[in-house]
Amino acid sequence: MESRVMSSELWNAVAVVVVTFIGYQILNKVLWRGIWTPLRLRRIMVKQGVRGPPFRFPFGQVLEFVTFMNSFPEVVPLDSYADLSPTVTPQYALYYPQFPGAKYFLYWWGKTTRLCVRDPEIAKEVFINNHAHLKCAHLGDTYLMKGLIGRGLVALMGEKWSTERRAINPFFHQDALKGMVEAMVEGTATEIQKWEQIVAQAGGSAEIDIEADMHKISGRILSLTAFGTDSEKGFQVYETQTELAKEYYQMLRGVGFWIIPRYSDIPLKSHRHMRQMAKKIDTLLHEILDGRLEAVRKGVTNSYGNDLLGRMLTSAADGWSEGSPDFNLQSVIENSKLFYFAGQDTVANASLFTMLMLTLHPEWQDRARAEVMEVVGDEESFDASVLSRLKVVKILHHLSWLDRVLGSSRANFGFVFLSCRWGW
């Protein structure tokens, strides 16, 4: 009997310790990190003359942003040139007018305090100089984000960032991109032929919703230019990453993500599915990489290929350590994820926007088409060097409304409406 009492007391003591520990963690998260830290940072910044809206627990200004963005119509008439940038960066539209003349202001994304800066000199200081107390946003710190975009160039700082940038930069020089034009043409041919058949069957005129097709074209171009002969598996990477991104964004819309610590680690059905997709992306990339390495090792081929993956493998050192300062095989995997993610919607959306603008200005469409037929002709393959002779297309490229689009897509990166650094 006495033994049972002691056992019961022991379990009660353990339960008290566990409950106390859990309670401490909750208080630490909620009171210290969720309330005290944001208010303390606000007081510090106010003393330095930095203003901003009041902190609101637990979401900060997120609910204000959602309400503001929902006030805009979902569909805008094609003849409307309304400024829709507030739907992308609502913080600028909401708070800069409240603080006229201010070069920066504070706001809160959940419990995270953000200092919004639009002074180019301060931005230059932050991004160019290597400050020890500033680092990139935590883009790849969770398993899901690591599976989605990897720990590539965009998530690095310091020596590792410099090493990888030097290794990757030559792959996007003009001469290197010229070698990818044939793959880009191949990636678009299937859908264009499908459109031609639809128009022919409709008697010469048809209405086609091309948005989904443009995303397929984007995926094929990425797969062919990045993985060449392995483009089938590359397209599987693209499709899986696209699906993972959609589910991840859906998770971000939920309240739980913003108030429950490490919410993505909770074994919900949707979270398990996202982890499976992240694992599938890793598996596919490793299969492609191992196949290239094995082919060279066995003497089946004497090079890793002339596509983006082959060029990266040629420059990469052996090793799979993420902590290594070298551009190694693990770096190839991480940056492959990044390039796919960065180019997922960029090429498609840039092309759709360009086609929309040319539709609204048919005179430029006619001039551009006539020039392309004259310089390039109607051949399926052509020399990429002739592209420099397209004068009208160059004019279109340098128009302010188009330059931002084509300039971004040429580098396989989307519009950068904001960029973050974390201070600690």
DSSP 214-277: HHHHHHHHHHHHHHGGGHHHHHHHHHHHHHHHHHHHHHHTSHHHHHSTTGGGS--HHHHHHHHH
**pLDDT score, position 381:** 65
Query: At a CB cut-off of 8 Å and minimum separation 6, what does 198 contact?
Result: 206, 208
How do strand 421-423 and strand 134-136 relate by DSSP bridges? antiparallel
What is the percent of the chain where pLDDT is above 70? 81
Can you spell out the DSSP letters for 184-220?
Answer: HHHHHHHHHHHHHHHHHHTTS------HHHHHHHHHH
Is 413 a residue whose pLDDT tops 80? Answer: no
| pTM of the model as a whole | 0.70
Query: At a CB cut-off of 8 Å and minimum separation 6, what does 371 contact?
Result: 390, 391, 392, 393
User: What ranges do the domains of the chain cover?
Assistant: 2-129, 165-423
Three-state DSSP class for 354? helix
Q: Give the largest Cα separation in the chain, rounded.
A: 100
**pLDDT score, position 283:** 92
Is 226 a residue whose pLDDT tops 90? Answer: no
User: What does the alpha-carbon distance between residue 333 and residue 350 come to, in Å, rounded to a whole number?
Assistant: 26
Helix axes 211-227, 181-201, angle to 10 degrees: 150
**How would residue 404 be classed by pLDDT, with cut points 50, 70 and 90?**
very low
Give the CATH fold of the 165-423 domain: Cytochrome p450 (1.10.630)
Question: What are the tens digits of pLDDT across the range 267-317?
Answer: 888 889 999 999 999 999 999 888 888 888 888 888 888 788 888 888 887
Question: What are the tens digits of pLDDT across the range 40-91?
Answer: 889 998 898 888 899 988 788 888 888 888 887 766 665 555 566 777 788 8
Neighbouring-strand partners of residue 112: 109
250 compared with 318, residue with greater pLDDT: 250
**pLDDT score, position 408:** 38
Identify whether the C-beta of residue 330 lies closer than 8 Å to the C-beta of residue 321.
yes
**pLDDT score, position 223:** 84
Which H/E stretch holds residue 421?
strand 421-423
Neighbouring-strand partners of residue 106: 115
Is 400 a residue whose pLDDT tops 50? Answer: no
**pLDDT score, position 407:** 42
Among residues 159, 155, 175, which one has the least CA distance to residue 167? Answer: 159
Instruction: State the average pLDDT over residues 206-226.
Output: 85
User: What does the alpha-carbon distance between residue 48 and residue 96 come to, in Å, rounded to a whole number?
Assistant: 18
Three-state DSSP class for 413? coil
**pLDDT score, position 276:** 92
